[in-house]
Amino acid sequence: MMLIGSNIIIHATYPDHEDLRNLIEEQVPFVSAVSYVEILGYHMLTEQEQYYQEMFFDDARVVPPSQEVLDQAVVLCKNRTMTLGGALIAGTARTYNLMLITWNMQDFQRIEDPVILNPFETTKKALKQVIRIEVSISGSIVKLCNMVYSRFFL
């Protein structure tokens, strides 16, 4: 299972990113409440963009910040240089054992957990990120990683 970041949601609306739309449609991913606020609260969103983003969020599984997510975010903020939004997103992924799919690797480069994948990156580094999944993670995540890898890298 995966949690997709705000930038992936935004890029999925671009005509040349059909692969992202397909991934989202097939997986019905989880989305942090932070992404919900970042996207729908963006002051320069056009009416058409607002409409399509609202349609997306109607179907997405938006995860509100639980106390455990907040506690994880506090740990991340104390131990790493992270923005509040980044810490809440990573905390959500950690709490619910979700792979984080994001284009913004810089915000999450200093953390080892959760597993993070950039679908725009076509280097061996991306493959190594997928491979670092621990054996204890459920089979569905491994299947998802294989599907993401085959979709974007083969």
pLDDT at 132: 44
CA geometry: angle at 5 spanning 64 and 54, to 5°? Answer: 65
Give yes or no for a contact between 30 and 5, defined as CB atoms under 8 angstroms apart: no
pLDDT at 95: 94
Q: How many CB atoms lie within 10 A of CB 91?
A: 26
* pLDDT at residue 147 is higher than 70: no
Cα atoms found within 13 Å of the Cα of residue 123, Cβ hemisphere only: 3
In the chain, the domains with their CATH numbers are 2-153 (3.40.50.1010)
pTM, entire model: 0.73
Give yes or no for a contact between 12 and 52, defined as CB atoms under 8 angstroms apart: no
Question: Residues 78-107: pLDDT tens digits?
Answer: 887 788 999 999 999 999 999 899 888 877
Give yes or no for a contact between 107 and 118, defined as CB atoms under 8 angstroms apart: no
Read off the tokens for 58.
Answer: 């109607």
